[in-house]
A and B are shown apart, each in its own frame.
Chain A
């Protein structure tokens, strides 16, 4: 029983980080219909900024705050400079569907190379702000630390902030309206272009939080978030790709599913396990867990 709970807790911790990455991908997908592979690059750049700030100040929170700001700016910049230019030039056809995605892949390469130029390709390290020692009760050890708790709390905080913004504010309504029906949004006076930029900024900030949370006590390299991007993407697909709640649930399903498979079915391979979970979910629910149920159409 204790082993099961431990597995669950570990699953929830990694799942929370996947959820954040999935959220950042879904935020962009909803507003622009693009899978932003550059998100791994934006997040790694932001994480290096956090590393730099933590090195200089010793303050983790300051580092996180800097990463969030830089992540948001970077997200907005990518949308304004890259996406708008692309969409201005190509309007329809197969190329229009693929070009933006390829552009984000290219950008991922550019950002990784730049990070390598600035900080080098060797691993860097920064410490977690709180203990990563497993809790122990008597002589039983639960492989769950204060830092794991902090990760879950931070992810939960991000999700609460998003829930409030999306459900209770007129910015949130503008974001949702622009995502679902840009034309009706414009007819309602919403400046859809600016709203899309804000969506990308939110996505960038969320990706930065994910990057900073997953990196402590690990080796930080220009490629070290690539796997997170893939797991975030899988989580987003599990959640239906279009739904913010879906992204959160998808991340948790993937995190917990992976933890259970690794613990009970035994596999030394982290990577394929994610796709086993994805396959199981898509067999049961082909549209993802939170796929839009179309109601009546007439």
Chain B
């Protein structure tokens, strides 16, 4: 259940979005990936979930290579990706969006159980099951996207800016929920965030990228106490 990334480089045409990035996330850890706009955070997650092709380097999950595999296969090995921004299908009902989380799974009993669990976790979704997802508020959509990922019972959860456009209180709630879920379900979480302070608070390790390069990585508390990093990258 370990995620390792080794000398990973990714190009978008002529742009090198990630340049020889390496890090390891131990089982059950929360890793916060921090960096300014355009740092390459989204590219990193998209590469790990199979949406984007790597140029060079390796990445393994549970000891198996993940680069070059398709997203529809990686999700079957436990990697769930909640992508940046519009991560629910607006044209579908809340119920159908949730159903997507378990659509590939054979164990339908456990899908039903997992669905029950996330609905208890996010009661607002329960009240809105029949509504189309485009009627949801930003926070509710983010809950829905996370709920869908949880129904797939991920071993590795990749979250891209779950706080995007949300009020500070809602962000705090979502982060707290994530932290509790990790305790209970034991998944490994890679959390991409602009919101460095809140992310490092719940994270075990931090990974700071700038313009595609790894600037620093290590214990989250060490990073957030480093005055130089704070001034240059963490913004507080």
Contact = CB atoms under 8 A, between A and B. Distances in A.
Interface of A: 170, 173-174, 176-177, 180-181, 183-192, 292, 294-298
B9 interface: no
A180 B91 contact: yes
A292 B104 CA distance: 28
Contact of A190 (B51, B103, B148): B103
Contacts of B80: 187
Nearest to A180: B91
A173 B100 contact: yes
B75 A187 contact: yes
Contact of A187 (B49, B96, B135): B49
A183 B148 contact: no
Which of A174, A181, A191, A294 has its CB near the most chain B CB atoms (within 10 A)?
A181
A186 B91 contact: no
A189 B99 contact: no
B90 A184 contact: no
Contacts of B99: 170, 173
Nearest to A297: B134
Given A186-B72, A188-B75, A174 B103 contact: yes
Nearest to A194: B72
A180 B134 CA distance: 13
A292 B92 CA distance: 12
B165 A180 contact: no
Interface string B69-102: 0111001100011010011111110001001110
Contact of B92 (A176, A192, A297, A298): A176
Given A177-B100, A189-B103, A191-B72, A295 B89 contact: no
Contact of B135 (A184, A186, A192, A295): A295
Given A180-B89, A181-B89, A298-B165, A190 B96 contact: no
Contacts of B89: 177, 180-181, 184
Contacts of A190: 72, 100, 103-104
A292 B134 CA distance: 11
Nearest to A179: B91
A187 B71 contact: yes
Interface string B47-66: 00101000000000000000
